[in-house]
Amino acid sequence: MAELIVDGDELVVRLRAVERMEAVHGEVRVPLGSVRTVEVLDDAVGAVHGLRVGTGIPGSVAIGTFRSREAKIFAVVHHDTPRGVRVDLEGAQFDQLIVGCDDPEAAAAALRQPG
């Protein structure tokens, strides 16, 4: 499962090797200063929309880059982790990060108070 971690002054989406292949992308690093909001999602895969580069099964899996008129999203959501977090960004390579996780409340709290 992908991890959202704070590494110095960056937020990192750390991917396992298989996720890198599914996403057609390596880990994502964005400056912490780009983080605008962090939100817990009960249906993380449902929050992902747009044209995809990566792996997707509607309602089940969303891994990779998704582009719509509204946003460029990097998502890593598996069927076994339907809940997750959405991180809204400004001035970064993506507008949003959506990552499925076992305990999205803890992940969101850690991102809201890094260090």
pLDDT by residue (tens digit) across 8-36?
999 999 999 998 888 889 899 999 999 99
List Cβ neighbours of 28 (8 Å cut-off, separation of 6 or more). 12, 13, 74, 93, 94, 97
Residue 53 above 90 pLDDT?
no
Which two structure tokens, joined as six digits, stand for 37?
A: 């909001």
DSSP summary character for residue 35: E
Residue 113 above 80 pLDDT?
no
Split into its structural domains, the chain has a count of: 1
Place of tokens 């992908």: 2
Mind listing the pLDDT tens digit for each residue in 58-87?
A: 888 999 999 999 899 999 999 888 899 999
- Band (112; pLDDT cuts 50, 70, 90): confident
Structural domain harbouring 50: 3-112
Least confident of 14-23, 36-45, 96-105: 14-23
CB 61 within 8 A of CB 19: no
C-alpha span between 75 and 85 (Å, rounded): 10
Which two structure tokens, joined as six digits, stand for 20?
A: 């890198």
Distant-in-sequence contacts of 103-109, Cβ < 8 A, 24+ apart:
104/40, 104/41, 104/44, 105/40, 107/4, 108/38, 108/39, 108/40
Give the pLDDT confidence score for residue 115 in this predicted structure. 52
pTM here? 0.92
